[in-house]
Amino acid sequence: MTRTVADPRVPGPNPSRPPRLAALDVLRGIAILGTLGTNVWILTDPEGLSGYLRRISISPTDGWMWAEKVLQQLAQGKFLGLLTVMFGIGLAIQQSSARRAGRPWPGGYPLRAGLLFLDGLLNFLLIAEFDVLMGYAATGLVVAFLLTRSERAQGRWLYTMLGVHLTAIALYAGSLLLAQPSAPRERAPLSPNPYADGSFWDLVLFRAENALVFRVEAIVILPLSIALFLLGARLFHAGVFRPEGARLRRRLVLVGFGVAAPIDLLAGLAGGGDLVLITRYLVAPVVSLGILALVAEFYVRRPRTGFAGRRLTEIGRAALSCYILQNLVASILCYGWGFGLAARFAPEARVPFTVAIYLTVCAVIALFAHLWLRRFERGPVEWLWHSSYRLLNRAQPATPR
């Protein structure tokens, strides 16, 4: 895992292998920090996810609550969508690499998906109940086989999954219109509260006991995840990162920022908690495509990365490690088994406290990624994942070509 001086006996890089795209790692870094921008509000709530869900249904009554609502809406769903699309792009890159090397596809990818699912399971139980890795592992396994189909067949799957998702959103929106207006139900506070008062093990047991409730999001959005994985693969092959993809990038920026972003912001601020599912799972993914296209355009025109670009690149190269680490660091700061800061701050100090936690965690993971990658080629979780895959794959019988 340690970097070494180039050995003349080792063959040099394959000239047929395409160069690494700067925009890919930068986008992964942006997606990782952006998902923290959503999740940090869960981590800084004294009652965790339960308290967060209660707060988003409350109408703002003062300036701080409006500031909280705006900050949440700016991140809500956009970077989850971006991360999902980036996973699809990663699958397309792995498939292209396998083809260039003459390896069968999906080949050993199911084993990789299994290891990712295990990573997600441990992350869910030990660190964060809002883990996305388990869902991505299941989605990636499905899409890996879909990528072996023709482009037309992939398109049919994409539109079918998108149609299923849009139907579910339409049914939800219809239920909101037809429902009789009633006073909002008060959620009972957690008692006992494992986030503020429990031990590390208490939280593990709490997540295990409520696993179905905490995992329902990944199940419900599986059709959307499949569609975004397939869309990411199609965008990659369509040249969204290449100079000839300028027209495609302009369209994505126009739709993402010119159409979807204003709708998302207005609906999120005016619609209250009832519309969060619509903005998060319908409009926000379109905004994420605008973010992708904007960053891709920037690096097509300016291939060099500045200071911020280098830090984002390092986070992107160690994305799996940084995703887990950011939730772990924030948990240590906020939960009762750590410093317990979330329960110590008054509600009126929630916004500056959350912003401070966010900036602190960003600084920690950026410093970690910088120092780690100065010595090692991969992040620690990436290294463990890759080493486990090689070990297990070597133990499997060879697949005839």
The reported pTM is 0.90
Nearest Cα to Cα of residue 50 among 192, 186, 189: 189
- Transcribe 168-208 into DSSP letters: HHHHHHHHHHHSPP-PPPPPPPPSS-TTTT--HHHHHHHHH
Indicate the pLDDT class of residue 16, thresholds 50, 70 and 90.
Answer: very low
Q: Which residue has the higher pLDDT, 283 or 272?
A: 283
Between CA 143 and CA 94 the distance in angstroms is: 12
pLDDT at 56: 82
Residue 66, judged by CB atoms within 10 A of its CB (0-12, 13-18, 19+), counts as middle
pLDDT for residue 401 is more than 50: no
pLDDT at 1: 46
Give residue 382's domain range.
22-176+189-395
Give the pLDDT confidence of 358-370 residue by residue, as tens digits: 999 999 999 999 9
Give the pLDDT confidence of 266-275 residue by residue, as tens digits: 998 887 667 8
From residue 50, alpha-carbon distances to 188, 198, 327 in Å are 10, 15, 17
- Helix ranges restricted to H, 179-306: 200-209, 211-220, 222-237, 246-253, 261-271, 276-278, 284-301
Whether residue 6 is contained in a domain is answered as no
305 and 313 Cβ atoms separated by less than 8 Å: yes
pLDDT at 221: 94
pLDDT at 8: 35
∠ CA(261), CA(265), CA(268), 5° rounding? 135
Nearest Cα to Cα of residue 55 among 293, 294, 273: 273
380 and 321 Cβ atoms separated by less than 8 Å: yes
Which residue has tokens 């997606």?
31
pLDDT at 9: 38
For residue 2, what are the β-bridge partners?
376
Whether residue 1 is contained in a domain is answered as no
pLDDT for residue 198 is more than 90: yes
Whether residue 261 is contained in a domain is answered as yes
pLDDT at 400: 38
Between CA 231 and CA 400 the distance in angstroms is: 31
Between CA 324 and CA 299 the distance in angstroms is: 27
Residue 364, judged by CB atoms within 10 A of its CB (0-12, 13-18, 19+), counts as middle
pLDDT for residue 239 is more than 50: yes
pLDDT at 18: 53
* DSSP 8-class letter at 347: G
* Number of domains composing the chain: 1
Q: Of 19-28, 65-74, 298-307, 324-333, where does the model show the most confidence?
A: 324-333
Whether residue 88 is contained in a domain is answered as yes
Between CA 379 and CA 377 the distance in angstroms is: 7
381 contacts: CB under 8 Å, gap ≥ 6: 119, 318, 320, 321, 324
pLDDT for residue 211 is more than 60: yes
pLDDT for residue 258 is more than 90: yes
Whether residue 16 is contained in a domain is answered as no
Whether residue 13 is contained in a domain is answered as no
Q: Compute the radius of gyration of the chain from its Cα atoms.
A: 22
Whether residue 97 is contained in a domain is answered as yes
pLDDT at 187: 66
235 and 89 Cβ atoms separated by less than 8 Å: yes
Indicate the pLDDT class of residue 7, thresholds 50, 70 and 90.
Answer: very low
Mean pLDDT of the chain: 89
96 contacts: CB under 8 Å, gap ≥ 6: none
Between CA 40 and CA 401 the distance in angstroms is: 47
Give the pLDDT confidence of 118-152 residue by residue, as tens digits: 999 999 999 999 999 999 999 999 999 999 999 99
Whether residue 352 is contained in a domain is answered as yes
pLDDT at 185: 59
Mean pLDDT of 184-199: 80
Q: Name the percent of the chain lying above pLDDT 90.
A: 75
pLDDT at 398: 46
pLDDT for residue 113 is more than 90: yes
Between CA 332 and CA 339 the distance in angstroms is: 6
Q: Which residue has the higher pLDDT, 302 or 255?
A: 255
Give the pLDDT confidence of 153-168 residue by residue, as tens digits: 999 999 999 999 999 9
pLDDT for residue 323 is more than 70: yes
